[in-house]
Amino acid sequence: MPSHSELPGEIKRNKFVKALKRLGFLIDESGGNGSHYKVTWPATQKSVTIPAKLPKPTLSYVLKEIERYSGVTWEQIQDEL
């Protein structure tokens, strides 16, 4: 898990979601609340909600949840960005 200083200032949600999709996540644009997306890992059916804005604290939390549910690391996501 990267520290806050290793994370980008703010990442565009569409770019982040496309990287997750390439890694095998299912994206449901209508499954979240309002402007949020629901991202599901198919093997476990566990999901995490991606908000419209991803500042460092929010991105850090989302990355922890993604790694916990799927085992996909920040380094793997970065390779797909």
The structural domains of the chain, ordered by start, are: 9-80 (3.30.920.30)
Tally the residues of the chain: 81
pLDDT digits (tens, 9 = 90+) for 37-75: 999 999 999 999 998 888 888 899 999 999 999 999 999
Enter the pTM of the model.
0.85
pLDDT digits (tens, 9 = 90+) for 1-15: 677 777 777 788 889
* Amino acid at the residue 35: S
Work out the pLDDT band at 28, boundaries 50, 70, 90: confident
Q: Judging by beta carbons within 10 Å of its beta carbon (0-12, 13-18, 19+), is residue 66 exposed, middle or buried?
A: buried
Q: Rounded mean pLDDT of 19-46? A: 87
Work out the pLDDT band at 33, boundaries 50, 70, 90: low
